[in-house]
Amino acid sequence: MKKQKIIRLTLSYLVIGIMFAVILYPVAWIIGSSFNPGQSLSGSSIIPKNATLAHYKELFNLEESNYMLWYWNSLKVSLSTMALTVCLVSLTAYAFSRYRFVGRKNGLMAFLVLQMIPNFAALIAIFVLALLTGLLDSHLGLILVYVGGQIPMNTWLMKGYLDTIPKELDESAKIDGAGHLRIFLQIVMPLAKPIIAVVALFSFISPFADFIIASILLRSEKMYTLPVALYDMVAKQFGAEFTTFAAGSVLIAVPIALLFLFFQKYFVSGLTAGGTKG
């Protein structure tokens, strides 16, 4: 019996070790490549010889690169998307969770269907709509597309979490004279911090790392977000600045990692509780 337990434990650790290796090796390799001298990846390794910070200095050199402008564009789009998504999803999920109205079930079913359709499946329609509304090559158009794509899935997540908050709290507040808005802001939302953190994280990561939609809507270099700009850096006819691309890619992970660490204490409980009830 003890021998079987040791074997199972060994196999478990072996599987976990393999998973970690598969996940972490590409990350370690791209970090190592960012310190590799030259522009080729052929001689790159996890621990590069003659490591240099030249590629990072090049990115932050305003005379040689627009990287800081692209970084600001990505932060602006992602933070705006996150703020709008959290506000709209909170109001929508609260309405579906607490109120009974005509079309409620159909609305939830429509959100369920919409979340199965990725944004890039409607690229032509999105492009034409942006062109007709004058939002092509603008961050506002990009933000509206991202927010619209985030609402269905996140509404279901947050509604599931709000369903677990006892409605007796609302009723007690009503007896004390609280209105609907006060109940929403002062009672329900403070208890929903875990799922708000999950929605905020998801709605930040998606636009910050998106390439497909941004490449369709953004036309001028000054409007580029980081994924589009870094691809353009590598795709230049005589460019192929792969190690500089690696350095830029490493820096993309910084705000995402900081946001995850900030929301970490809420993340697990919010994600699991949000999926317990429909």
% of the chain beyond a pLDDT of 70: 89
Measured between alpha carbons, how far is 185 from 195 in angstroms, rounded to an integer? 15
Q: Is the dihedral of CA 28, 31, 33, 36 positive or negative?
A: negative
State residue 238's pLDDT score: 46
Q: Is residue 275 scored above 60 in pLDDT? A: no
Q: What is the pLDDT of residues 131-167, one digit of tens each?
A: 999 999 999 999 999 998 888 889 988 998 898 888 8
State residue 264's pLDDT score: 78
Q: What is the pLDDT of residues 44-98, one digit of tens each?
A: 566 777 777 888 888 888 777 788 999 999 999 999 999 999 999 999 999 998 8
Measured between alpha carbons, how far is 145 from 211 in angstroms, rounded to an integer? 13
Q: What is the pLDDT of residues 238-252, one digit of tens each?
A: 456 677 888 888 888
Q: What is the pLDDT of residues 108-140, one digit of tens each?
A: 888 888 777 776 778 888 899 999 999 999 999
The domain spans of the chain are 63-273
Which pTM value belongs to this model? 0.82
State residue 44's pLDDT score: 59
Q: Is residue 278 scored above 50 in pLDDT? A: no
Do residues 160 and 278 touch, judged by C-beta distance below 8 A? Answer: yes
Measured between alpha carbons, how far is 161 from 194 in angstroms, rounded to an integer? 9
- By the 10 Å C-beta count (0-12 exposed, 13-18 middle, 19+ buried), 28 is classed as middle
Mean pLDDT, the chain, integer: 83
Measured between alpha carbons, how far is 152 from 142 in angstroms, rounded to an integer? 17
Measured between alpha carbons, how far is 201 from 264 in angstroms, rounded to an integer? 10
Is CATH 1.10.3720.10 what the domain over 63-273 is classified as, yes or no? yes
Helix residue ranges, H only, 168-225: 168-175, 180-183, 189-191, 193-209, 212-217
